[in-house]
Amino acid sequence: MKRKTKFVCTECGYESPKWMGKCPGCNSWNTLLEEEVYIGKNNRKGNSNIVKEKSVPTPISKVEMQDEPRTLTTYLEFNRVLGGGVVKGSLVLIGGDPGIGKSTLLLQISADISKSSKKVLYVSGEESARQIKLRADRLGINNDGLLVLAENDLEIVVNTIDNLQPDFVVIDSIQTIFLPHVTSAPGSVSQVRECTAEIMKVAKQLSIPVFIVGHVTKEGAIAGPRMLEHMVDTVLYFEGERHHTFRILRAVKNRFGSTNEIGIFEMKESGLAEVLNPSEIFLEERSEGTAGSVVVASMEGTRPVLVELQSLISPSCYGNPRRMTTGIDQNKVVLIMAVLEKRVGLLLQNQDAYVKIAGGVKLDEPAVDLAVAISIASSYKDKKISTTDVFIGEVGLTGEVRRVSRIDQRVTEAAKLGFKRAIVPKRNLSGWNIPNNIEVIGVNDLGEAIRIAFTETPF
């Protein structure tokens, strides 16, 4: 047996016999890592016992349209993020920071699926069966259909899957399992790639949905090659702030659904509980009656969510004023500040600006522009915004407030939560039924919105 090393790019998987600073495959710097390679007979076992269906080219007009068969869990948030349930034969990668609750979520989902007389295999390369049992006890899980396997060797895992033919498989985590014929360490680029390819094969051939857990690096990417994300069908991120109990499940890639939907959970002693009324939770800790705090009605996928947006504008001490944002694109804030300066006459160029979305949510749709502008103006002028106002609208470069989608859903949600006024684009005023417990005010431009926000406080 000869041993040799090679260098593999963690971004794109490019291989090279020698180290290079820059990867020729993807032009990234410092991404080549040394790994041991085994040269000799490739003793990899093929799944030769499975008869492959012959594929024939079909005219696209004749391709049969069939919805993918899906399994529904009782977790509505989970189903929604996946695009309507777990798709048969799909490979899903779920990433997240250490301790965020990945194992907890997947154990709860496993238990849920196993309840409907289905067989579920939960493979852990990280924890012993006893540790999993401890968690299961805390979560009140005790189903016979849920089988636990503490194993790192993927060949054994694959054999178990072959024999058991489960309906759902979890592999926790991809960084801890290995294939014996790949000599690099578990978690290395080659191992992660080969293992994922092997799992993919099993998932597709046996039509079993497989969820794999992936750790996240400090930079926030799933550890291992970026390729991993290309190989799988769906990539989910489970995120949240360490100090908050909310957890957000987000699809960043989905071959079977949209990537707009988010699922919101709360981490409790007894496990993860779904949050079906996110607006109430997000507004719970609202800094009522402070300058810079504004509420926006944003669409998260198909659901309207009301969130608090906070700005802090203060004179900057250095030449280059700072623009810092959390949960919102910094460029959007810079642009809105430029519009406020040029079209409304706020002198913001010597001000530091910090803009933050509360509750760990990310807002990226244009409809939040107006709320951002009002929040910045409010902090700059040090004037409070009424706590019963909500702002919706896109802001154009000339300071005009442009129409947004789904205005009725946004306003209805605001009315439901007790908001008294919705300041919306004037062009959004017609064509829908305004709820009668909220006043809807249409504005043409930013100046008008600011006048209404600051002078005409209700009652």
Ligand X SMILES: Nc1ncnc2c1ncn2[C@@H]1O[C@H](COP(=O)(O)OP(=O)(O)OP(=O)(O)O)[C@@H](O)[C@H]1O
Provide the binding-site residues for Mg ion, judged by CB under 5 A.
103
- Taking the complex as a whole, the smallest distance from the CB of residue 9 to Zn ion amounts, in Å, to 3
Q: Which is nearer to Zn ion, 12 or 92 (CB)?
A: 12
Residue 408's contacts (CB-CB under 8 Å, 6 or more residues apart) are 432, 433
Q: Which does 304 bind (CB under 5 to 8 A by kind): Zn ion, ligand X, Mg ion, none?
A: none
- Taking the complex as a whole, the smallest distance from the CB of residue 443 to ligand X amounts, in Å, to 43
- Taking the complex as a whole, the smallest distance from the CB of residue 108 to ligand X amounts, in Å, to 9
CA distance 174 to 321: 43
Residue 306's contacts (CB-CB under 8 Å, 6 or more residues apart) are 279, 282, 283, 295, 296, 297, 298, 390, 413, 414, 417, 419
Q: Which is nearer to Mg ion, 10 or 103 (CB)?
A: 103
Q: Which does 11 bind (CB under 5 to 8 A by kind): Mg ion, Zn ion, ligand X, none?
A: Zn ion
Q: Which is nearer to ligand X, 99 or 140 (CB)?
A: 99
Q: Which is nearer to ligand X, 246 or 256 (CB)?
A: 246
| Cα distances (Å, whole numbers) of residue 327 to 55, 231, 358, 359, 393 | 46, 28, 8, 9, 18
Q: How many residues are given for the chain?
A: 459
Q: Which does 96 bind (CB under 5 to 8 A by kind): Mg ion, Zn ion, ligand X, none?
A: ligand X
Q: Give the residues lining the site for ligand X (CB under 6 A).
A: 96, 98-104, 126, 138, 267, 269
Q: Indicate whether 25 belongs to the interface with Zn ion (CB under 5 A).
A: yes
Three-class secondary structure of residue 71 per DSSP: strand
Going by their DSSP bridges, the two strands 262-268 and 246-254 should be labelled as antiparallel
392: left (phi over 0), alpha (psi -120 to 50) or beta: beta
Closest CA to 246 of 101, 97, 108, 359: 359
Q: Which is nearer to ligand X, 109 or 440 (CB)?
A: 109
Q: Which is nearer to ligand X, 96 or 263 (CB)?
A: 96
Q: Which does 23 bind (CB under 5 to 8 A by kind): ligand X, Mg ion, Zn ion, none?
A: Zn ion
Q: Which does 425 bind (CB under 5 to 8 A by kind): Zn ion, ligand X, Mg ion, none?
A: none
Which value, in Å, is the radius of gyration of the alpha carbons in the chain?
26
Q: Which is nearer to ligand X, 100 or 203 (CB)?
A: 100
Q: Which does 122 bind (CB under 5 to 8 A by kind): Mg ion, Zn ion, ligand X, none?
A: none
Question: What are the backbone dihedrals phi and psi of residue 314, each rounded to the nearest 5 degrees, phi first?
Answer: -145, 150
DSSP secondary structure code for residue 153 in this structure = B
- Taking the complex as a whole, the smallest distance from the CB of residue 99 to ligand X amounts, in Å, to 4
Q: Indicate whether 26 belongs to the interface with Zn ion (CB under 5 A).
A: yes
Q: Indicate whether 282 belongs to the interface with Zn ion (CB under 5 A).
A: no
Q: Which is nearer to ligand X, 78 or 380 (CB)?
A: 78
- Taking the complex as a whole, the smallest distance from the CB of residue 128 to Mg ion amounts, in Å, to 13
Q: Which does 195 bind (CB under 5 to 8 A by kind): Mg ion, Zn ion, ligand X, none?
A: none
- Taking the complex as a whole, the smallest distance from the CB of residue 103 to Mg ion amounts, in Å, to 3
CA distance 389 to 278: 18
Q: Contact at 8 Å (CB) between 372 and 355?
A: yes
Stretch that binds Zn ion, among 14-22, 256-264, 321-329, 401-409 (CB under 5 A): 14-22
- Taking the complex as a whole, the smallest distance from the CB of residue 172 to ligand X amounts, in Å, to 7
Q: Which does 230 bind (CB under 5 to 8 A by kind): Mg ion, Zn ion, ligand X, none?
A: none
Going by their DSSP bridges, the two strands 234-239 and 91-96 should be labelled as parallel
- Taking the complex as a whole, the smallest distance from the CB of residue 103 to ligand X amounts, in Å, to 3
Q: Contact at 8 Å (CB) between 355 and 309?
A: yes
Q: Indicate whether 228 belongs to the interface with Zn ion (CB under 5 A).
A: no
Q: Indicate whether 7 belongs to the interface with Zn ion (CB under 5 A).
A: no
Q: Indicate whether 23 belongs to the interface with Zn ion (CB under 5 A).
A: yes
Q: Contact at 8 Å (CB) between 105 and 99?
A: no
CA distance 99 to 444: 47
- Taking the complex as a whole, the smallest distance from the CB of residue 78 to ligand X amounts, in Å, to 15
Q: Which is nearer to Mg ion, 103 or 310 (CB)?
A: 103
Side-chain half-sphere CA neighbours of 305 within 13 A: 28
CA quadruple 255, 256, 260, 264: dihedral sign: negative
Q: Indicate whether 424 belongs to the interface with Zn ion (CB under 5 A).
A: no
Q: Contact at 8 Å (CB) between 272 and 74?
A: no
Amino acid at 278: P
Q: Which is nearer to Mg ion, 212 or 309 (CB)?
A: 212
Q: Indicate whether 8 belongs to the interface with Zn ion (CB under 5 A).
A: no
- Taking the complex as a whole, the smallest distance from the CB of residue 226 to Zn ion amounts, in Å, to 8
Q: Which is nearer to ligand X, 64 or 269 (CB)?
A: 269
**CB-based burial of residue 62 (10 Å sphere; 0-12 exposed, 13-18 middle, 19+ buried)?**
exposed
Residues binding Zn ion (CB under 5 A): 9, 11-12, 14, 23, 25-26
